[in-house]
Amino acid sequence: MTPLEYDRTHIWHPYASLGNPPPVLHAKSASGVEIELADGSRLVDAVSSWWCVAHGHNHPAIVEAIRRQSERMCHVMFGGFTHDPAIDLAERLAKFAPAGLDRVFFADSGSISVEVAAKMAVQYQNALGHPERNRLVALKGGYHGDTSLCMAISDPDGMHTLFKGIMTKHFFAEKPGVPIDGEWDPADIQSLRRVLEEHSGEIAAVVCEPVFQAANAMNFYHPQYLREMRRLCDEHGALLIFDEIAAGFHRTGPLWAHSRAGIEPDIMTVGKALTGGHMTLAATLASAKVADTISNGRPSAFMHGPTYMANPLACAAACASLDLFEHSDYQSKVAKIESLFREGLSPLRALANVRDVRVLGAAGVVEVERLPKQEDISRVIRKHGVWLRPFANFIYAMPPLVTDDATAGRIVEAIADLSSAPPGPAPADGDFHE
Ligand SMILES: *Cc1c(COP(=O)(O)O)cnc(C)c1O
């Protein structure tokens, strides 16, 4: 059996069948914006390897930080110990985060940081004498991860209907409908208002992906929605959780997507680009109000603690990544990518299979009636040397923030080519790709 045959028959890939696996490419190395395959060819990573490789692959400064830390200490339990990489990272994150969100819990993946945020909200309400406030409100069209709580607050019509039986019921407001550049319509917030009015006694927190609903909807919505949301949370005694895992670290332009709204959450999750895609790490940031209230409750301890919490290698990688975020002018780099995507992708609206084209920051989305056939997708990837990973109705690019103009142009050409391909078969019932 060749290694690739072994892979096909024994290893699950994300949201993929082991019986009838989709094609996979054999990656050997990666640097800058490119991934090198076993056959020596190179692909531009227009997906930033699921949106985390912000500074490019194998950035020398991050690799060096991991190497140096690995010589001292790869891991130590965080129960009963602390270490410099964790302390450095906490201090740096506090400088980056919205004012006041300087209490931190280090999680080992984005999903876990969302679980942690939800548990913080529940412990907070419990400490205030409201144990019955143990539900969340989330938005339709949202995505917060794959663990069971995260599934339960992600789009209820999305990927997770099969698991209803193991999921707690939470509340949903309609997907925000006013686009980021549209004219604000107060009707857009009515659904959230109604949920809070009807159920506020049961609600611990409201959670959303600010401005950019990524993995389930590729929806860029109006920041006024967030201002109204903040007000409603205050009115109804609910905490506000922003999940910046996809949208944070300049993906939409500003460092945090929610800063467009000029308001702040009580709890915020970050992940993906935190280490620049070099190690798995996420963090849940909370305000002093949240932390102090939990500390004054019973139990005073916050009840979570993964084995690899604050892994020193990952924290060292994140510190190096934050240095790069601090010293690179990503705001203008992203503005450049945004204008190239706007210019290059907007004309695709005229194509028969295209429903809509949306661009925000370093994210360009072509929404199609139906995705092309897998053969066409693979052909376009090979022809242009650009890695794309369309899903649902979306052909999109979210390239590394360091992508230069020429490379952005190649990505646009590949997307244009793929958007012109004939629509493939309708997905079979219950079938899908991430
Ligand atoms: C990817 C993502 C998550 C989950 O992060 P993992 O590291 O995959 O567990 C959570 N929220 C948002 C908004 C995401 O995009």
Mutate to test the pocket of ligand 1, among 51, 242, 272, 434 (most ligand atoms within 8 A of CB): 272
Tally of residues, the chain:
434
Q: Could you say which of 108, 146, 188, 243 is catalytic?
A: 243
AA letter at 246: A
| Of 174, 149, 308, 167, the residue nearest 243 (C-alpha) | 149
Are 235 and 203 in contact by the 8 Å Cβ rule? The answer is no
Q: Which atom of ligand 1 is nearest to the CA of 280?
A: 7
Confirm whether 323 is a catalytic residue. no
Q: Using H for helix, E for strand and C for coil, what is the string for the chain?
A: CCHHHHHHHHCCCCCCCCCCCCCCCCEEEEEECEEEECCCCEEEECCHHHHCCCCCECCHHHHHHHHHHHHHCCCCCCCCCCCHHHHHHHHHHHHHCCCCCCEEEEECCHHHHHHHHHHHHHHHHHHCCCCCCCEEEEECCCCCCCCHHHHHHCCCCCCCHHHHHHCCCCEEECCCCCECCCCCCHHHHHHHHHHHHHHHHHEEEEEECCCEECCCCCEEECCHHHHHHHHHHHHHCCEEEEECCCCCCCCCCCCCHHHHHCCCCCEEEECHHHHCCCCCCEEEEECHHHHHHHHCCCCCCCCCCCCCCCCHHHHHHHHHHHHHHHHCCHHHHHHHHHHHHHHHHHHHHHCCCEEEEEEECCEEEEEECCCECHHHHHHHHHHHCEECCCECCEEEECCCCCCCHHHHHHHHHHHHHHHHCCECCCCCCCCCCC
Question: For residues 155 and 157, what is the distance between their CA atoms, to the nearest angstrom?
Answer: 5
Q: Tell me if 248 CB under 6 Å of ligand 1.
A: no
pTM listed for this prediction: 0.97
Question: For residues 310 and 306, what is the distance between their CA atoms, to the nearest angstrom?
Answer: 9
Q: Backbone dihedral region of 276: left (phi > 0), alpha (psi from -120 to 50 degrees) or beta?
A: left
Residue with tokens 């004939």: 422
Q: Which two tokens stand for residue 196?
A: 């809070």
Mutate to test the pocket of ligand 1, among 50, 108, 111 (most ligand atoms within 8 A of CB): 111
Bridge partners for 213 per DSSP: 219
Are 290 and 64 in contact by the 8 Å Cβ rule? The answer is no
**Per-residue pLDDT at 4:** 95
Confirm whether 308 is a catalytic residue. no
Q: Tell me if 246 CB under 6 Å of ligand 1.
A: yes
Residues 6+ away with beta carbon under 8 Å from 229? 189, 192, 206, 208, 240
**Per-residue pLDDT at 427:** 78
Q: Using H for helix, E for strand and C for coil, what is the string for 174-218?
A: CCCCCECCCCCCHHHHHHHHHHHHHHHHHEEEEEECCCEECCCCC
Question: For residues 88 and 93, what is the distance between their CA atoms, to the nearest angstrom?
Answer: 9
Q: Tell me if 417 CB under 6 Å of ligand 1.
A: no
Find the helix packing angle between 312-327 and 84-96, rounded to 10°. Answer: 30
Mutate to test the pocket of ligand 1, among 49, 114, 146 (most ligand atoms within 8 A of CB): 114
**Per-residue pLDDT at 159:** 62
Q: Tell me if 142 CB under 6 Å of ligand 1.
A: no
Which residue's alpha carbon is at the smallest distance from atom 10 of ligand 1?
A: 144
Strand order in the sheet with 386-387: 27-31, 34-37, 42-45, 386-387
Q: Which atom of ligand 1 is nearest to the CA of 246?
A: 15
Are 195 and 136 in contact by the 8 Å Cβ rule? The answer is no
Ligand 1 centroid–CA 218 distance in Å is 14
Question: For residues 337 and 68, what is the distance between their CA atoms, to the nearest angstrom?
Answer: 33
Q: Tell me if 109 CB under 6 Å of ligand 1.
A: yes
Q: Tell me if 144 CB under 6 Å of ligand 1.
A: yes
Measure the N-to-C terminal CA separation of the chain; round to a whole number of Å: 28
Mean pLDDT by 10 residues, the chain (434 residues): 96 95 96 98 98 98 98 98 98 95 98 98 98 98 96 84 87 98 98 98 98 97 98 98 98 98 98 98 98 97 97 98 98 98 98 98 98 97 98 97 98 98 81 51
Q: Could you say which of 6, 15, 157, 185 is catalytic?
A: 15
Question: For residues 359 and 188, what is the distance between their CA atoms, to the nearest angstrom?
Answer: 21
Confirm whether 143 is a catalytic residue. yes
Residue with tokens 């800063």: 259
Which residue's alpha carbon is at the smallest distance from atom 3 of ligand 1?
A: 145
Q: Could you say which of 45, 108, 143, 155 is catalytic?
A: 143
Q: Could you say which of 124, 175, 272, 417 is catalytic?
A: 272
Ligand 1 centroid–CA 110 distance in Å is 5
Question: For residues 83 and 90, what is the distance between their CA atoms, to the nearest angstrom?
Answer: 11
Confirm whether 330 is a catalytic residue. no
**Per-residue pLDDT at 161:** 73
Q: Tell me if 141 CB under 6 Å of ligand 1.
A: no
